[in-house]
Structures are given as structure tokens and as C-alpha cells.
Chains A and B, each alone.
Chain A
Amino acid sequence: METKKYKQNINITPELQQRIDELLSHYPADKKKSALLPVLHAAQDAHDNWLSAELMDKVAEILGITSIEVYEVVTFYTMYNQKPMGTYMFEFCLTSCCGIRGADDMMEYACEKLGIKPGETTPDGLFSVVGVQCLGACGYAPMMQLGDFYKEHLTREKIDQIIDDCKAGKVILHDK
């Protein structure tokens, strides 16, 4: 796993533990493994948007399952990051209508503006840009995901604005 190359400070805060307890209550007591995906989302959100091997081991311990059961899930689903990502992760949808409405141009523009290539993170750790498969916003193409939210009907001007807002700390990433 790529995650073994990177170190992360593990911190199960009271808030995170409370969220995990709430998620666990949604499943029968003998089916705790069912909470794995939601718990991984919560753990990732609370740890700078990525999951180290140590954090995955901790999740395994909390759910009472083996570490390999967590690893095999994390490596299957695309929304779990196995390495540190930028604070602001631009995920450009490249499929379907986004594809015919200029998604490639939008992603190239964002990369050019940030001085990185798709899949890379800026040296200051602020931005990452990735291309992803269909995000289910075909009527509002081209678009990208940023945190919990979608930024739709993208234009070069909108991308400029989003980057400026991120730099100014004005962008909310999570729906509380």
C-alpha cells in the first residue's frame, strides 16, 4: 500500500469518537463491520483527508475486525486517499457530459494556474487536482467536487474565483 510511505499523527478526538459511536449505533451490535465505510469517511475527514496504515489499524481495532479487512476496502473505493492530499482537492469529473462540455479544458486550466499536473499537489500543500469518473452532475457540466460540495457550470473565471477563495480561506469544505 502506498500509505506505508507516509506518516500521520493519529488523534481520535472526543468529537470523532462521538461520531463513530453514533455511526456504530446504526447497525446491529454483532454487525459492526457494516459501519466500516462511514467510519473511514469520518476518520479521513478528521485527519487531513487521508488514511495512513496506522489510522486504518486504529479503525480496525475500534470495529473489532482485522487490519486486512480495512486495507482491502480502502484500496477498492476511490474516495479514500492513501497519501496526503492538498487541503483543497479539486476533483474534476471527466465523464459523459462533462467530457463533451469542456471538462478536460477546465482541468488543464486549473493545473496550469496552479503549476501542477493532474494527480499532483502544490508544494505548499494547499491544492491537489485529480480527474475522476462520473459524479452524477451531468446537467450542470462541467463540474468538480470540492470537499462535501459540487462546483458546477465551471468556467475559467469561476475556477479563478474558487482558487482565490481557497487561498483566502473562504471555502467551506464540510457540511456540518
Chain B
Amino acid sequence: MATKILLDKINIPGIKSYDVYRENGGYASVEKALKTMAPDDITEQVKASGLRGRGGAGFPVGLKWSFIDKKSGKPRHLVCNADESEPGTFKDRYLMEYIPHLLIEGMITASYALGANLSYIYIRGEYMWVFKTLERAIKEAYAAGWLGKNILGTDYSLDLHVHCGAGAYICGEETALIESLEGKRGNPRIKPPFPAVSGLWGNPTVVNNVESIANIPWIVNNSGDDYAKIGLGRSTGTKLISASGHIRKPGVYEIEMGITVEEFINSDEYCGGMMDDRPIKALIPGGSSVPILPAHLIYKTANGEDRLMTYESLSDGGFESGSMLGSGGFIVYNDTACIVRNTWNFARFYAHESCGQCSPCREGTGWMEKVLHRIETGHGTMDDIDLLWNIQSNIEGNTICPLGDAAAWPVAAAIRHFRAEFEYHVLFPEKVKDRNHYVNEPFSSIKHLINK
């Protein structure tokens, strides 16, 4: 059985409540940290662990903490990014819903390390019942003395609150999240200055993902070195993967990094294999923004090596033959899925969610959505495929925040790996008028028609 760091207690009855959580070793990391460790010792342990940000970017957490401005004398803040909004990703909700005190424990220990006395959990507004679950858990933590003035009789005090957003994907970007937390539109800020210098209300701020923070108690209770022994190479520790699509057992799984993609999809411990035993057609391993992989690049890299569930292996070969681990939003497609329709679906999402601040994103995402809709419904031309390529390449890298890249990459990868399906849509408009055109006639059985 694989090591579990985040979900090891998830099946204990009543673990959502403070009493049961505490009886099962909860809040031990706060006790250890406040009574025996200096704040910088914790940062060093997190650095040693090799923990990388679990929100998608994969930036080393300890290094990010070390950037926080401690010399300005301004108040510091820790903000937990719980604005989980990347299509395909639903792992953080699982943690917060079923074991909310784990996140609160991590927030206290991490806030102590950063010297923050006022911290927030920014949660997406749609997760309203999770927001209320967290509110109740925070009240329990206050009542038990883990939050508030002079925690455990030490000099350290912390106020922690949960703050709800209101339905904007862009608020998952850290500077947009801070703007939103200040009561404004979620428009990303230009960096620099980075939040570590000027974040919430102009104060030094660290923004970390839920899963990243939930790892902190284990690292403090054990050690950074012990954490680094789990996983493979620079992909240390475990990772929550939210698996969905045409698999037998969709859900949230904790894996040790380094298992093969084939094992993750086909073993009974995880996804349980393909739904209805249909062949696998494509995979998005890290949420909608990362490039899609065609069947021949899912289980093996371009070099013929086993594809592993690690940051490095999933990105092997760059975007030509690889993708990204991203947020761990793992979407599996069988042969009935229409890649053009799926790409249009994502394009519609990014067009809807663009904040409109940067022209390439504001104009480009909407334009891509229109062209893709045209092709998907059988009204496109061959020139439209080249036009799409041209539009996405003019968005990528030309926006303040990564939403532009997130919108461009899926389109580029779909054309790169599945151009024949786009051409089929242009050549056989009558066939694709049916919304579920590949369900009864998978593309693999009709692709020969393109060359006739």
C-alpha cells in the first residue's frame, strides 16, 4: 500500500470534527512548531522536503516562503488559495470537505513560520457548503485555543478567517486573488512587485494552494528529509490526483509520485481501467490548461520510456511530446470523445473567464471560441485551422497572467496531435452536425475517409 500523507485519516469516522481530529494526533505539528522550533527552522524543513506548489505551477514552497519580506516591519499574511476552478480539478474540495482541520493545522504552522498574525483561506464561492464547513472548523479551533491570542501560552497569536469568492476563475491567480480579497474585481496585478514584497493591502504575503499547506503538518511532525524520501527525484512526496472522464472509478486519489501512468489508469487501487472497456484516446494529466496527450504518448514518452506520474516525466519532450502534471486534474478520454468539441468546450470556458484586462486574451479567447464552434458544428474551413493556430500563438506569452497561456496551450496541443479530426470536421460537415458524432462512429474507424 502506498504511503498516505494527506488522506491517511480520511476514513476515520467523525474526522471532520475537532475532537476526533485531535484524538487522532491532530494539531501535533502546531505544538511541536510553537514549543520547539524557530520559524526559520520550519522553512528549512519545508525546503529540505522538496515540496513543490500543488496548485499547478510547481514552484518550490520553501523557496517561496524564504522570499517574504521580513525587514519592512509591515504585517505579513498567509493566504490559502482554495479557489479551485481549473476544469478537471476537484482535489482541494475533497480535503476541505472531509478533513478541514488538516488545512487549519497547516495554516497555523505555516503562518507561524512566516510570522503572519492574520491569515485567510480564499475559497471559491460555489463551494458554499465547504465554506461553511471551514467556518465551523475554525470556530472549533478558536474554542480549543489553537487560534487567537498567545496560542499554547506562547508569544504567538494568529487570527484565521475563511473568505468566499463569487465565481471567477481568474481569482485562482495569486495577484487576482489578492485583489478580490481586497473587495475588488479579480484583475491580476503586474509583477514585480511580487506578493512576497507587496501583497494583501500592500503587505508581504505568501499565497499557497490548499494541498501544499495540508502537507506542512506531516513535514513538521516527521522531517523534510523524510518527506523527500517519498516520491521520485525532484518530484518528492505524494500528490492528490482528481481523476475524471471515461474511467471506471472517477475520484480523488493520493499517489506516491513515480508510479506509472499506466498503473494509475488501469489498477483497481486507482482509476480501475477504462469505462466499458473502450480504448483510450487521449489524456489531459494536469487540468484543462495543460496540453492534451494522444494515445501513443500516454503510457510511453517519445523515447519509449514508461511515462511516470512525476513533474519531469509528464513534461518529457516539452509540448511536442509531453504535457504537465499541473494541478493533477487528470481527464481520460476514450475513443468516442470528440477532441474538437472538447477543445471548443475549454475555449468557451477561457473566453468566459478572461478578466478582459489584456487585449490578446480578451479578444483572442473569444475569437478562438467562435472559430472552434464554427469547425465543431460543420461550418469551418481548412483556413480556420491555420487561423486558430495563429490566434493561439499570438496569445501565449503576451498577457499579464497565465490565463492567456492556459487558453492557448489546449488549442495548440489539439491541433498538433489531432489535426486530422479538425480536417474531418471541415470535410464532412453533415456527419458532425450530430453533437455526439463520434459516439456511434469513433474517429479511429472513419479517419481513412480524409485521404480519399
Contacts and interface: CB of A to CB of B under 8 A. Distances in A.
A78 B185 CA distance: 11
B352 interface: yes
Interface of A: 26-28, 31, 33-38, 40-41, 63, 65, 69, 72-73, 76-80, 94-97, 99-100, 104, 132-141, 145, 147-149, 174-175
A73 B355 CA distance: 12
Nearest to A80: B166
B166 A34 contact: no
Given A35-B183, A76-B186, A96-B331, A138 B88 contact: yes
Interface stretch (B26-34, B145-153, B246-254, B422-430): B246-254
B89 A136 contact: yes
Contact of A139 (B128, B168, B252): B252
Nearest to B341: A99
Interface stretch (B342-350, B359-367, B385-393): B342-350
Given A139-B243, A139-B244, A73 B184 contact: yes
Contacts of B84: 136
Nearest to A34: B183
Given A97-B245, A133-B169, A136-B127, A73 B183 contact: yes
Contacts of A97: 87-88, 244-245, 250, 331
A135 B250 CA distance: 16
B167 A37 contact: no
10 contacts: A28-B118, A33-B183, A37-B166, A72-B185, A95-B87, A133-B349, A136-B89, A138-B87, A138-B331, A140-B250
Nearest to A136: B90
Interface stretch (B9-17, B60-68, B157-165): B157-165
B337 A37 contact: no
B215 interface: no
Contacts of A99: 341-342, 345
A79 B331 contact: no
B310 to A, nearest CB: 22
A33 B182 contact: yes
B342 A100 contact: yes
B283 to A, nearest CB: 13
B345 A95 contact: yes
A112 to B, nearest CB: 16
B201 interface: yes
A94 B126 CA distance: 15
A100 B85 contact: no
B87 A137 contact: no
B358 to A, nearest CB: 16
B52 to A, nearest CB: 22
Contact of A138 (B168, B185, B186, B242): B242
A147 B132 CA distance: 13
A77 B166 contact: yes
B166 A139 contact: no
Complex A-B, nearest 6 residue pairs according to Cβ-Cβ distance, in ascending order: A77-B166, A96-B87, A36-B183, A139-B250, A33-B183, A78-B167
Contacts of A40: 166
Contact of A77 (B125, B129, B435): B125
A136 B210 CA distance: 14
Contacts of B165: 37, 77
A78 B353 CA distance: 10
A141 B244 contact: yes
B88 A104 contact: no
A135 B85 CA distance: 7
B82 to A, nearest CB: 10
Contact of A175 (B87, B128, B245): B128
A31 B201 contact: yes
Contacts of B124: 136
A138 B89 contact: yes
Nearest to A149: B129
Contacts of B201: 28, 31, 34
A25 to B, nearest CB: 9
B217 interface: no
Contacts of B373: none
B136 to A, nearest CB: 10
B413 to A, nearest CB: 15
A147 B125 CA distance: 11
Given A100-B246, A134-B169, A138-B331, A175 B129 contact: yes
A137 B168 contact: no
B288 A96 contact: yes
B227 interface: no
B180 interface: yes
B436 to A, nearest CB: 9
Given A79-B125, A97-B88, A133-B353, A138 B163 contact: no
Contacts of A31: 182, 201
Nearest to B336: A100
A66 B88 CA distance: 38
